[in-house]
């Protein structure tokens, strides 16, 4: 059976699959990224994981994978196949495409940005299916965005398109790892809500999920934390929709798991802020934490289609 390897590398874990031509997940696996061992060990782990999938596919289906798609965080040069920089994994200028293709005995490899890859999946087979213009914004450890246009995701001239998390919404606010202050992700990401809620209750183990539950129960401390985050998020999203005019705004990541606790106030806050802009549909992501892996599979199939057409 013709299949591809799909691998989604995150800061703490890796998700992988063998994907059929119809998008069916023929085999799935997970393992820790082990970033505490350093960037060289992380890269070695990626290569080992891909080789393991290659062997499983060859044995199970009688032929090696036709291609591989890999989604990684940070700054990516997709054309060169280089992972330029990832703060949470520590690598710089890692030639992942070449390394993977060599390890996989010449199998062609597509390398993609994790959020844009997840956005590709959401746009084609998830919450954006059938939509010509969308913006996918996952609210996780940080915040990024994927700009969807007619079934593809825009990378930008230098691979930086969609970095909505680094829009400054509170000048002089909390310091961000990018060097600015008051960036959206310092105020409205899942990790930002976790920090604010932990400080409010004096419990370093408290997190955003705990805060959402407390909001639902009417805790005034939780409401204050949540309202601050939603206000900042709405400010950032209105800037984005003013520039991009998406038909649909897809919100994913850990914070979106709060569902109505997030979406009801967020839709209201965005509606309050728009003036001349067209208000897009604001919907939860449909694919959950499988989006990156499914998107990596789409990258691999797209690569094969490009090679055939060439």
Kindly report the backbone phi and psi dihedral angles of residue 75, in degrees, each rounded to the nearest multiple of 5, phi listed first. Answer: -90, 125
User: What local confidence, expressed as pLDDT, does residue 283 receive?
Assistant: 98
Strands (E), 21-145: 25-32, 68-72, 75-77, 82-85, 92-94, 109-113, 133-138
Q: What is the DSSP letter of 258?
A: G
Going by DSSP bridges, is the β-strand pair 82-85/25-32 parallel, antiparallel, or unpaired?
unpaired
* Pair 6, 16: CB distance under 8 Å: yes
User: What local confidence, expressed as pLDDT, does residue 211 receive?
Assistant: 98
Q: How far apart are CA 200 and CA 64, in angstroms?
A: 53
Crossing angle of the two packed helices 260-273 and 220-244, in degrees rounded to 10: 50
The SS3 of residue 88 is coil
| Residue from 84, 72, 150 nearest 115 by CA | 72
| DSSP code string of 279-300 | PPEEEE-SSGGGHHHHHHHHHH
The SS3 of residue 75 is strand
Ranges of the chain whose pLDDT falls below 50: none
- Report pLDDT digits (tens) over 199-215: 999 999 999 999 999 99
| Domains of the chain, start order | 3-117+289-309 (3.30.420.40), 130-286 (3.30.420.40)
User: What local confidence, expressed as pLDDT, does residue 308 receive?
Assistant: 62
Kindly state the tokens that stand for 34.
């082990």
Q: How far apart are CA 164 and CA 241, in angstroms?
A: 11
User: What local confidence, expressed as pLDDT, does residue 158 receive?
Assistant: 84
- Report pLDDT digits (tens) over 154-188: 999 888 899 999 999 999 999 998 899 999 999 99
pTM of the predicted structure, to 2 decimals = 0.91
Q: How far apart are CA 86 and CA 238, in angstroms?
A: 28
């Amino acid at each position: 059976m013709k299949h591809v390897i799909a691998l989604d590398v995150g800061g703490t874990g890796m998700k992988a699959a063998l994907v059929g031509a119809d998008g069916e997940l023929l085999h799935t696996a997970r393992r820790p990224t082990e970033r505490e061992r350093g960037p060289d060990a992380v890269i070695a782990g990626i290569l080992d994981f891909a080789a393991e999938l290659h062997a499983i596919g060859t044995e199970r289906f009688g032929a090696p994978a036709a291609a591989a798609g890999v989604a990684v965080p940070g700054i990516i040069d997709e054309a060169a196949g280089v992972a330029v920089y990832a703060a949470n994994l520590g690598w710089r200028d890692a030639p992942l495409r070449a390394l993977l293709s060599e390890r996989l005995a010449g199998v062609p490899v597509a390398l993609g940005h994790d959020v844009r890859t997840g956005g590709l999946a959401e746009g084609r087979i998830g919450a954006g299916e059938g939509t010509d213009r969308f913006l996918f914004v996952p609210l996780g450890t940080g915040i990024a965005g994927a700009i969807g246009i007619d079934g593809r995701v825009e990378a930008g001239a230098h691979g930086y398109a969609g970095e909505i998390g680094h829009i400054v919404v509170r000048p002089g606010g909390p310091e961000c790892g990018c060097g600015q202050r008051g960036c959206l992700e310092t105020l409205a990401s899942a990790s930002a809500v976790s920090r604010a809620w932990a400080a409010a209750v004096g419990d370093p183990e408290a997190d955003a999920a705990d805060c959402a539950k407390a909001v639902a129960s009417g805790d005034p401390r939780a409401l204050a934390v949540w309202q601050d985050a939603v206000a900042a998020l709405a400010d950032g999203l209105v800037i984005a929709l003013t520039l991009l005019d998406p038909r649909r705004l897809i919100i994913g990541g850990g914070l979106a798991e709060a569902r109505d606790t997030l979406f009801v106030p967020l839709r209201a806050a965005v509606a309050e802020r728009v003036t001349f802009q067209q208000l897009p549909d604001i919907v939860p992501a449909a694919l959950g934490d499988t989006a990156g892996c499914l998107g990596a599979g789409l990258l691999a199939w797209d690569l094969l289609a490009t090679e055939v057409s060439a």
